[in-house]
Amino acid sequence: MPKRALPLANKIFEGFNTYIQTFHTYTRLAPLYFAQRNWPAMQLNHRQRLRLYKDLLFQLSDVFREMLGEDSRNREIWKLIRQEYQEMIADRPDVELAETFFNSVFRKAFPENPLDEELMYVMEGYNSCEIRENSDILLTYPASMGLSKIIRQILDDFDFGAEFMDKEQDIQFLIKSVKEVILTRYRVEIGTKTQLLKPVFYRNKAAYLIGRTFVGKKWMPFIIPILNGPKGIYVDTLIFDPHLMSHLFSFTRSYFMVETAVPSHIVGFLLSVIPHKKTHELYNAIGFNKHGKTLFYRDFLHHLETSDDKFEVAPGIKGMVMTVFTLPSLNIVFKLIKDHFEPPKNMTRQEVREKYKLVSLHDRVGRMADTHEFEYFKIPLSRVSDDLLKELRNTTNSLLTIKDNYLIIKHLYTERKMIPLNIFLESCSSEDGKRAVEDYGRAILQLAQANIFPGDMMTKNFGLTRQKRVIFYDYDEIEFLVDMNFRVKPKPETYEQIYASEPWYEIKKNDVFPEDFKRWMIGRSDLKPHFLEYHRDLFDPFHWKSLQERISKGELIHAFPYPDEIRFRPGEPN
């Protein structure tokens, strides 16, 4: 048996090496495409990197099942495989990713195994990220250099592969911002210094420099977004606001392309500048979402040990496609696809899964929630409320198994908990409501700019984050915007047409009449007039058609993750 274990461990190790090397190859293409302004290639490269893990995993798990045969459930051989593999990865700088890769292979090759603490890496490396101040991934600028020289040196130290549009103007913008935000509040002292990560963070049409300044006896983080416009490279703004920085790394945004020889060091630095982000969120943000899922699960297990409340049906209007439950003390919801859908829903479970897959591979532009997909997810039965168990039995019974005092769920998604927009609008003030409905409309239009038509745009399918940002989270009816047919509603001309109980004109599957949105989008009388006036474009079919034309021509419409008013050159084409 030991002789069989070594080649199997080697297979996993080789698979991980292939994954990590190919991951870095895709990542290193991002600076090239940024310099070339090759935005279609940037998007394709991002999707290919996202698909990489699962594609390799499925290939490897098939090989494993063939090599193991009837021994796929043999615990003794898996123990030996793990021992051999552990020796192979022990000294790797990305050992945590290698552990997660082993878990993934094990779960695919050992069927229906919900969790095995003896054979899997379950709690290893829990919260182990750190960064040294003298790390070789940091550039350090002492305050003794002087502000102007520091700014000039920073822009000289990063090569974006293209000429600056107006470098001197960028320097003056940055100096002015630092003076206004930092030097009006803090005094430069001995020990004051600025540090930047050497790796640049690329996403869509932007490159981001991530840094921090030690001033006032604490680290003050900042982010410098760089764009490559038709006239050249330019600094778009300087971000100090911790809320905006957090939003750049939000669960609603696509993952960054950033070189990570030692991923834990990058995450360690990010934790120092965005401290309220969880470690798993930051691994997600730099593209290692499978390890982010591992860390999320470790957080979940830790939370179960330190809490005693029960899982319950999530508040809000029950969905027609998904059953949703939550643990009140945890900022997460759990979503299961129902066994049967009530009319008018006529899709299959697999079609719903395909919609979630589409979202996982698409640019979420800060308006769609990231999810983690789990199989054979287990929960202590004692923590499941009677009402929830009844609801699950009634709606998702085919996904459930009870074994050894655990509820085992064959398939589910986890997603960040948000306040459903319809519930928020029931009791909020008029002022808060106006801000929310404005952002609701912006969310729909920004999704459209990313070639996503939400389909069911009822407020119950949107939620508010802690920062009151509106996010779309119901994906079963989404379509690509370019596949829709936006029409002006025909005007009735005859008595029969005016009083017809059903539409007298032909309506095809993907026909959309934007003017009809006015009837149902917002119900509150104090909010509806404001919403209709503020978002007139929503109800104009020609606006939707203009977006389709831009996307069909290959234009990537950049979604800025910060307000236009803080940009140094508002309106500058990108």
> How many other CB atoms are there within 10 angstroms of residue 15's CB atom?
21
Instruction: Measure the CA–CA gap between 268 and 275, rounded to whole angstroms.
Output: 10
CB 23 within 8 A of CB 149: no
Task: Please confirm whether the linkage preceding 344 is cis (ω < 30° from 0).
Answer: yes
The 3-state DSSP class for residue 373 equals: strand
Beta-carbon contacts of residue 259 (< 8 Å; ≥ 6 apart): 24, 27, 28, 199
Q: Residue 86 carries which side chain, given as an amino acid letter? A: Q
> How many other CB atoms are there within 10 angstroms of residue 333's CB atom?
23
Q: How far is CA 242 from CA 180, 184, 342, in A?
A: 16, 18, 44
Q: Which of 449, 491, 565, 559 has the alpha carbon at shortest distance from 203?
A: 559
**370 included as an active-site residue:** yes
Q: How far is CA 144 from CA 141, 181, 193, 240, 505, in A?
A: 8, 19, 8, 22, 75
**Which one of 236, 363, 370, 474 is the catalytic residue?**
370
Q: How far is CA 372 from CA 15, 85, 320, 482, in A?
A: 22, 26, 21, 27
Instruction: Measure the CA–CA gap between 431 and 568, rounded to whole angstroms.
Output: 29
- Annotate 128-141 with b (16+ C-beta within 10 A) or e (fewer): ebebeeebebbbeb
What's the DSSP call for residue 72?
G
Which residue numbers are catalytic?
370
